[in-house]
Amino acid sequence: MKVLVLGSGVIGVSSAWYLARAGHEVTVVDRLEGPANETSHANAGMLSFDHSTPWAAPGVPLKAIRWLLQDMAPLYINPKALDMRALRFLARMLGQCTTARFQVNKARMLRVARYSAGCFKQLREELPLHYDGRCQGTLELYRTEKDLADAGANVAILKRYDIPHALLDVDACIRQEPALANVREKIAGGVLLPGDETGDCHKFTCALAEACETMGVAFQMNTRVDAIATDNGKVTGVRTSNGTLTADRYVMALGCESTRVLRGIGIHLPIYPFKGYSLTMPVLDEDRAPQSTVMDQKYKVAITRFDQRIRVGGVAEIAGDNKDLPPQRRAAIEYVVRDLFPGGGEIEAGEFWTGLRPMTPDSVPILGHTRYNNLFLNIGHGTLGWTMSLGSSRFVADVVSGRTPGIDPEGLGADRYA
């Protein structure tokens, strides 16, 4: 079949890869000049297959209130952004903060993330992709004995879902990340998730896009998606800045932009843009730089190692579609890397970036069928777009092709918001 993929981020390009592998004629459309130039461009660099967990969890509402009173917090709410869209989303997210909903959502996320982990392994065996990838796990770092003791609830969750992990004392944390020896007095211990990986999502997506092109995938860039045309329960075309494009099947992978386009055909989904920030700097001193990913559990900031760069990513901000780069946000993530890895990276030369992550209230992506029999969704991955990219895209490609997916589709579709 002829398939049109809307969006050239990591989700769109991964969709194109699996659709082309299934034998379809695929075209990818995007308003930007090249792949992965928006939300996929400079994310935290984590492949969090085992770190996947819902933002909505028991205890989060009380934590959020405390965060509002802190200068450095994992979540910021811009009062100017609290319109009805934001308030409705936050209300739905609040409704997911029960123990029962958390367990359901966690299981669904892990189903996709673990499937994606296997897809990444298989892809690396098939393609020589170069994206500064490392397979050394994530170290969740706790700064105080109290925080480490409170981590018992998180460890219990890891055990419940059979997630490989190890509790580390200070010396073991330093063996995992030798540069922490320089700040050993600032840490109390950690939890190692050895199944997680790291790498540059932009490099990965561009390399996969090149592989797609060798398989015949066409990329129509600098083409804005304006609207979808429908008739009698099916999509008849996509109106773009370069005319109307038609296909047999259509895959929506426009991230936060998806909601605007889908509203035009009566599909209303609770996806909200969670604004995130990152800072990417050259390695200054190898002995003072991280080796993989260190997640500072106090500030929820991830410090990730690429080959000759360090990426620091964090913060979720309710700010609507705003893409400003406030200096206080840079100062917050600079503080963490200066504090834990002083002298490791050339912070002053760091590239400050922001992206809008398409979040759902339950943190579970929206995959598969819609009310239109030839329109399919691959959206709503929130902060785990790269982590879930291959798994969700292989799932959607199977659904488009009429094949039985490799994982249970229960709870992954748009029908849960009907």
Residue-wise pLDDT tens digits, 388-405: 999 999 999 999 999 999
Predicted confidence band at 51 (pLDDT cuts at 50, 70, 90)? confident
Average of per-residue pLDDT across 353-361: 97
Q: What DSSP character marks residue 325? A: -
How many CA atoms lie within 13 Å of 218's alpha carbon, on the beta-carbon side? 11
Which one is predicted more confidently, 60 or 175? 175
Residue 1 burial (10 A CB sphere; 0-12, 13-18, 19+): middle
Spell out the CATH class of 2-41+203-270+362-417: alpha beta
Predicted confidence band of residue 171 (pLDDT cuts 50, 70, 90): very high
Q: What is the residue-wise DSSP string for 201-256?
A: HHHHHHHHHHHHHHTT-EEE-S--EEEEEEETTEEEEEEETTEEE--SEEEE--GG
List C-alpha distances in Å: 248 to 185, 235, 238, 269, 402. Answer: 61, 9, 12, 24, 13
**Helices and strands in the chain: count of H runs, count of E runs:** 11, 20
Whether 38 and 255 have beta carbons less than 8 Å apart is answered as yes
DSSP 257: G
Mean per-residue pLDDT, 73-96: 92
Q: What does the block give as tokens for 362?
A: 């339950």
Taking the CA atoms of residue 85, residue 90, residue 95 and residue 100 in that order, the dihedral angle to the nearest 10 degrees is 120
Q: Which amino acid is at 67?
A: W
Length of the chain: 418
Share the mean pLDDT of the chain.
Answer: 96
Residue type at position 108: R
Distance, in Å, from the CA atom of 78 to the CA atom of 354, rounded to the nearest integer, reads: 15
397/24 Cα distance (integer angstroms) = 10
Residue 382 in tokens:
């929130």
Rounded Cα–Cα distance for residues 412 and 390 (Å): 15
Mean pLDDT across the stretch 228-247? Answer: 98
Distances (CA, A) of 4 to 7, 46, 250, 269, 323: 10, 29, 5, 21, 28
Residue 145 structure tokens? 């004995």
- Work out the percent of the chain whose per-residue pLDDT is above 70: 100
In this prediction, residue 150 has a pLDDT band, given cuts at 50, 70 and 90, of confident
Q: Is residue 203 a contact partner of residue 9, using CB atoms and an 8 Å limit?
A: no
Q: Which are the contacts of 371, defined by CB distance < 8 A and separation ≥ 6?
A: 233, 266, 267
Amino acid making up residue 277: Y
Per-residue pLDDT, 79: 86
pLDDT attached to residue 65:
81
| Closest C-alpha among 415, 400, 366 to residue 112 | 366
Q: Between these two residues, 210 and 63, which has the higher pLDDT value?
A: 210
With 90 as the cut, is the pLDDT of residue 418 above it? no
Tens digits of residue pLDDT in 294-348 = 999 999 999 999 999 999 999 889 999 999 999 999 999 999 999 999 999 999 9
> Which of the following CATH numbers is that of domain 54-80+134-195+272-359: 3.30.9.10, 3.40.50.620, 3.40.50.1100, 3.40.50.2000?
3.30.9.10
Domain boundaries, the chain: 2-41+203-270+362-417, 54-80+134-195+272-359
Question: Which pLDDT band, with edges at 50, 70 and 90, does 64 fall under?
Answer: confident
Range 17-24 average pLDDT = 98
Among the ranges given (2-11, 50-59, 197-206, 239-248), the one the predictor scored with the smallest mean pLDDT: 50-59
Q: Is the pLDDT of residue 115 over 90?
A: yes
